[in-house]
Amino acid sequence: MPRHEFAAPVRPKTSTLKCDGLAVVNDMTDFFRPLFTALTLTCWLSWSFAAETNVDVVTELSAPLQFEENGRIVGVATEIVRELFARTDWQPEIKMLPWARAYQNALARPNVAIYSIARTPEREEHFEWIGPIVPIQFGIYRLRSRNDISVTSLADLRRYTIGVVQGDVRHLYLQKQGMQDFPEGNLNTVSSQELNYRKLFAGRIDLIVMGSMTCVTKRIDCEQLTLVHTLDELSEGLYLALRKGSDSTLVASLQSAFSTMYKDGKLLALQKPLVDLTQHANVLK
């Protein structure tokens, strides 16, 4: 019998494409070549857009949400924001600024993310909103030793000096209730909440507006404070936000990352220290 020789099968050339953590192997046959080319272009465009879009993240000093420790910005809200961006193609640095400056940067420039920001009717049309990233319960507090201070309504607040951060939601809210800044009014504005704490304990102001969880951190002696009035209208949670007109791919990526974090439980896990603090805030009542 004649001897038949069979040629070994020739394997098509292969190549591997990685995109968003997935490896796609192409056998480079004529059938798959156009699909592979299209997928390559899609991945390249996604990377290219991310590379060309510069993103800044700004925040203020407000423990325990965000504060500096050993030269690094940390805090419950900060860890959530870092996790959000870790799930996108962007890895920006976080800058800590006075609130008024941080807010103006975010309001004036696209692709500047700001946290932790309250979502109010006045701000609604100016920003794209991701969140809420953390729960919050705002209230007005006095020193426990100041029994001369009596507040039963917002109108009573006009009789006392209140420490607020220039331009933040608490400041704007009290202005909306008819209160005015010094020297004509009773609102004492500063650049950071840390300064308000110092003024309150030094007796330079009568009241302070803050979140309930703030007092139960080690930075504040909460045994010396008493809650005199709650601000329920402001207690709907705090957000990460970007100005309208920011890169649509960036906004969609962050919104998708937030949804995924909520579904897989990571968001609640990162919020847990804050929730635990809030649950122990009964010492303030």
The total of other beta-carbon atoms located within 10 Å of residue 21's CB is 5
Write out pLDDT tens, residues 33-67: 555 455 445 444 444 445 567 999 999 998 889 99
Q: How confident is the model at residue 18 (pLDDT cuts 50, 70, 90)?
A: very low
Of 3.40.50.1370, 3.30.110.70, 3.10.580.10, 3.40.190.10, the CATH number of 56-135+237-273 is 3.40.190.10
Is residue 126's pLDDT more than 90?
A: yes
Residue 20 pLDDT exceeds 50: no
The single residue listed with the structure tokens 């703030």 is 214
Q: Name every residue whose Cβ is closer than 8 Å to that of residue 98 and which is 6 or more positions away in sequence.
A: 60, 166, 191, 192
Give φ, ψ of 146 to 5 degrees. Answer: -90, 70
Neighbours of 208 (CB within 10 A): 26
pLDDT, one tens digit per residue, over 171-222 is 999 999 999 998 888 999 999 888 999 999 999 999 999 886 776 555 678 7
Is the pTM higher than 0.85? The answer reads no
Q: Are 138 and 210 in contact (CB under 8 A)?
A: yes
pLDDT in tens, 73-89: 999 999 999 999 999 99
Q: What are phi and psi of 283, to 5 degrees?
A: -65, -15
3-state SS, residue 62? strand
Interval 212-250: pLDDT, tens: 677 655 567 878 999 999 998 887 799 999 999 999 999
Give tens-digit pLDDT for 272-281.
888 776 665 5
As its CATH architecture, domain 138-234 has: 3-Layer(aba) Sandwich (3.40)
- CATH 3.40.190.10 range(s) for the chain read 56-135+237-273, 138-234
